[in-house]
Chain A
């Protein structure tokens, strides 16, 4: 966010994108950039995840627009995303404000038809020193706040006639619907052109007059919006009678069927199959380097404060080696607090686990806190040399930038030592005995320590695997020891372990658990 502000200050159009929880982290600069305004146009893109397909909460980012007093546009498909982005730069420069574009999972993760236009390259705007606008110390900020309020009023006036807030006529005026984003698509699919629709492309500030006029033109006013009552609450604040959240819950996603059921009382049933279908939750991949380490944590019956990444899957059965997951960086800071509260007893049986990428994002500050405020905490950095869960993006520890070009590489061991951790060691998570020894020794040490569990993600293209092992049915006694690591490549058929050769990478972790030497194959040199 600050980098995008810097680029804007320098006179270029800038964009920074994140999901809802990212905006929490970036909220600090956002609220003050709202005061400074921009030089080159600046857009903040944020995507909410109603339904929590891949998130730890389903907060509604529209509240940020109101709280920070910033305009927010909400496109309903790929085509609008392009159109609104162009418009947002014009608004940003025209009203001297950052503009938020609010996406959601179903817009961000869908592809629809886009008409590409001519690319324009606006010239760089000259930068002029202006402390009263850009140095937000109290004397200046006090003078900027009224500017923000006045700006919001001007944008609200613009919103009254903006074409992106449009009324679509309907045949039956006994009901009228106010909606935006994918909720608009669901409404149109469920109701077609039956009822008039006020489709809002800008969800903050909201057009009071346009909404009031629309409400007067229809019988029952219905607000269809995902997550919180935002537009509905605004309508109520105008004294308009309406319904919304009483029909469409603030929990989870909406869909065309959910809307059809409420508005047209039409229930669509699919083909019924009377069968108990077992769930298929995501699992750590076969060959995942995190598996051996989590097995060690489970065997040592440790309390594990977790973090955000693939390794959160260490929480699920049969490993079940995780006690909390909050946000990026919470593992290390949380461990410090946990150990301060729990004392020496806690310090000997509690660890934090955090991935290399998440550690670079917001783990290192927590580690500085641990070293500075002295808890004998043991932090485990799960270094798989990539950002796994989101699809193999590079990070500052990999030696490549996001474009894949070589760049400066941060050395994790040196970084940990530099912040004041003297006990830093590296283990191979495929080696269970080494993991066990490292965890026991560092937990026993009466000072902060870091264990780097290092092996690249098994899905990285450059990683060479030894190839699948096999289970010897004559040696296997069916003890199921190998099943305790939750590897998707191992199953039991007719009382004997079976290895799925299409999945097995030959990591050999299961073989270390077999007392009967039934699991073997080409061992890694």
Chain B
């Protein structure tokens, strides 16, 4: 099979790394060659962060280049727009509709663009926009945004519900398991 490419993008501190590790483990369990790669030196400092997950018979490069991504999972709307050029023509973007102002917007040096979701659709992106922050709060914590988005993403993969549940169990502390199960279900059903 051709190598599949997925990018996970967001703002440092949003929990993108957990999502990529969980996916990497699931894909490895299916017998794929998998490469997961990220640069997280600045990830806790609110900068733009990106993780690459690639799988197939034999994966070569650890990174995904422009025009290669089959799917982009974005934790923030502006970041979805930023990495759109990495999407393959016809590719899918699943994004949180949450907006986090970057510092140049906060200081007034730049403007947060309006109507990004519509503009992405107009550019031909198969866009799935979901208010993951509200769903995470409904599940019990705004910190569960990453698991809500994984739930949403889960419809794109053909893993079983049980496989996802097992991967979540292996990735989150037991005391937050119920919360994360709720978050996953809300994302999957939304």
Contact = CB atoms under 8 A, between A and B. Distances in A.
Interface of A: 53-54, 77, 105-107, 109-113, 182, 185-186, 188-189, 255-257, 268-285, 310, 313, 316-318, 389-391, 459, 483, 486, 488, 490-492, 502
Nearest to B37: A110
Interface stretch (B107-115, B146-154, B160-168, B169-177): B107-115
B63 A486 contact: no
A275 to B, nearest CB: 5
B66 to A, nearest CB: 4
Nearest to B143: A502
Given A54-B42, A112-B34, A273-B119, A278 B110 contact: yes
A283 B119 contact: no
Interface in B5-54: 11-13, 24, 28, 33-42, 44-48
B11 A280 contact: yes
Contacts of A272: 84-85, 123
B60 A269 contact: no
- Which interface residue of B79, B88, B101, B125 has the most chain A CB atoms within 10 A? B101
B82 A277 contact: yes
Interface in B65-101: 65-69, 78-79, 81-82, 84-89, 91, 101
Name A's interface SS.
loop
A273 B85 contact: yes
A6 to B, nearest CB: 30
Contacts of A282: 12, 42, 45-47
Contact of B84 (A109, A273, A490, A491): A273
A285 B34 contact: no
Contacts of B44: 285, 391, 459
Contacts of A53: 39, 41-42
Given A109-B39, A273-B120, A502 B104 contact: no
Contact of B79 (A182, A185, A280): A280
Contact of A389 (B41, B81, B104, B112): B41
A269 B69 CA distance: 11
A141 B67 CA distance: 56
A112 B59 contact: yes
Contacts of A268: 65-68
Given A111-B36, A277-B113, A285 B46 contact: yes
16 contacts: A53-B42, A77-B62, A106-B63, A109-B39, A111-B36, A188-B60, A189-B61, A255-B65, A256-B61, A256-B65, A257-B68, A271-B125, A273-B123, A277-B78, A281-B102, A317-B107
Contacts of A486: 103, 106-107
Contacts of A106: 37, 62-63
B116 interface: yes
A186 B61 contact: yes
A182 B62 CA distance: 8
A158 B101 CA distance: 57
A280 B107 contact: no
Contact of B35 (A110, A186, A274): A110
Contacts of A285: 13, 44-46
A282 B47 CA distance: 4
